Amino acid sequence: MAEIKLTRVDFRLIHGQIVVKWCKAFEVDKIVVIDNVVAGDEFMLRVYASAVPAGIAVKAYDEAKALRLWNKNRFGEGKKVLILFKDLETCHRMIQAGMDLKSVQLGGVPQMQDRKAVKRAIFLGPKEMQQLKELHDMGVEITAQLVPEDSKYDYDGIVKAYGSDK
């Protein structure tokens, strides 16, 4: 089975911070993107794959295939894997479907009409806060952190920054 080094929600998916900071910090050799749209877009998959250094594989799976591969071998024998979700909703759905992820890190979550900033570049609304609460209640460690050098917010810090009750 693969070793899951980091599970991250980041709407930009593979970008400079992922490649330069997170892949190095966790010494990953495989990035798995779980997104129904990206999994079916060969052009975008090639773009993402071209952005990473040699030696790091990039795969994109739709939710159904990701769940099958998770149950088979956690995305590859002997691999050190970074799992990326474009949005919290997909991450939440996959964990509820049986992906036993121990922790989820929030990275870039875009600003939208009903969302508030909880940390630079991380905006959450009532729907996302409910999803985080459900994951937290399931025992998933929730953190928010843009780059390894930044301070890390835990679930309680996210709730406090959002300004709501747990």
Q: What is the pTM of this model?
A: 0.95
- In this predicted structure, the answer to whether residue 64 has a pLDDT above a threshold of 90 is yes
Other CB atoms within 10 A of residue 54 CB:
4
d(CA 62, CA 28): 21
Give exposure, 113-147, as e/b (b: 16+ Cβ within 10 Å): eebbebbebbbbbeebbebbbebbeeebebbbbbe
Domain ranges, residue 44? 3-162
How high is the pLDDT of residue 164? 56
> 165 pLDDT exceeds 80?
no
Would you state the pLDDT for residue 166?
A: 45
How does pLDDT run across 13-45, given as a tens digit for each residue? 999 999 999 999 999 999 999 999 999 999 999
The rounded distance, in Å, linking the Cα atoms of 120 and 153 is 11
Instruction: Collect all residues with Cβ–Cβ distance below 8 Å to 53 and sequence separation of at least 6.
Output: 19, 23
If you average pLDDT over residues 85-113, what whole number do you get?
97
pLDDT at 69 over 80: yes
Would you tell me how many other CB atoms lie within 10 Å of the CB of residue 10? 22
CATH number of 63's domain? 3.40.35.10
Q: How many domains does the chain have?
A: 1
